[in-house]
Structure 1
Amino acid sequence: METLFDQYKELNINGSLICLEQVEDIYSYFCYPTNAKAIGFEGSIMYCFIEPYGEMVFACNPDTCADVFVYPLARTFEDFMRLILACGSTNPIEQIIWMDKDKFEKHLKEEEAIRTEEQKTTLSYLETELEISPIDNPYDYVKELQSRFDNSGIEYSDEYYDVLGIDRK
């Protein structure tokens, strides 16, 4: 059975327009989980699925502003795409981890002001082709998911523990 992620990949869009670029040669940062499957990148930030969390979408950010490097963004890939439609790209979604609602709303307005016609066209195309609509209240959705998240299923390399100077679990 074809998933929405499969349908998205078949669209073959320029993912950089929504900060979800496909990368051939992946540089593996210390914080990228060993049980992650990359779905796209925004610079060094990897968006991925992680076993055993199924279709949940995560951000893995080696330059995080929060106290964690890996955190959930959406319960499913469909919700992730709906968040992108609501926010214009992955960028505002990924930053919710450290922002309060006022900062997030301000950031969304700034992002919208610089959105190109090509980006708008891509978002409209995704909405039509994937038959989805923007999610309501993206900030509240992500914050609620992150507040209840159990990260015990994330597996890290020895390098992660060495870089952070913590004992391996």
Structure 2
Amino acid sequence: MGLFQIYRSLGIDGSLIGFTDSEIAVPHFCYPVNATAIGFEGCILYCFLPECGEMVFASNPESCAETYVYPLAETFEDFMRLVITCGSANPVEQIVWMSRAQFDQHLQNERALRTAEQIARVGKLREELKLSPMDNPYEYVKASQTHFDGSQIPYSDAYYDILGQER
């Protein structure tokens, strides 16, 4: 059983760590057509794409970046290590548009707002999945995003229509 299946079998309420377990109920224009949902934070979809192996992506219809779909981690294990380090998926997802200083400030603000329940949830993840925190999360995510070619991501017709792009 892979780490994602082990995570799912734990029955952890992901809402406290920034992604709730759910299927795609309302596909936003930018969600890749063959995305496998890991979870959601509002309208942000965390997912796998079959053509990209184990890589974890965010798809955000309200993106502040130049793209709506971007990699966060090379594997689900690395994604969980990033969540453990940052306390939730939110800071990890925000890296795409942030400078290092902005990320450090955001992470500091997030840490100040953490509840005992959130801290316990992250601790349970770390213990149950037997994972250590990620060293240098900002650099890790930026490196994954810098080297990624998004041209292989399949989108719906709505994506191209809304953005006025050729298919």
Query: What SS does the aligned partner of 1:38 have?
Result: strand
Asked whether the 8 Å contact 1:51–1:153 carries over to 2, the reply is no
Q: 1:69 to 1:22 in 2, by over 3 A?
A: same
Q: For structure 1, which runs of at least 5 residues remain unmatched after alignment?
A: none
State the alpha-carbon separation in 2 of the partners of residues 34 and 131 from structure 1. 33
What SS class does the counterpart of residue 48 from structure 1 fall into?
Answer: strand
Cα deviations by residue, 1:76-129 (Å, 9 ceiling, x for unpaired): 000000000010101000010000000000000000000010100000000000
For 1:32, the equivalent position in structure 2 comes to 31
Q: CA deviation at 1:26?
A: 1.7
Q: Which residue of 1 aligns with 2:70?
A: 71
Deviation at 1:24, TM superposition (A): 4.8
Partner of 1:44: 43
Checking the alignment, whether the CA contact within 8 Å between 2:22 and 2:38 is kept in structure 1 is no
Q: Which amino acid aligns with 2:61?
A: P
Q: How many angstroms apart in 1 are the aligned matches of 2:136 and 2:115?
A: 23
Aligned-residue identity in percent: 56
Counterpart of 2:160?
161
Per the alignment, residue 115 of structure 2 pairs with: 116
CA contact (8 A) 2:22 2:37 kept: no
Unaligned runs of 5+ in 2: none
Q: How far apart are 1:35 and its partner, in Å?
A: 1.6
TM, length-normalised to structure 2:
0.98
Aligned to 1:40, the other structure's residue is in SS state strand
Give distance in 2, aligned partners of 1:53 and 1:165: 25
RMSD of Structure 2 on Structure 1 (CA): 0.8
TM-score by length of 1: 0.97
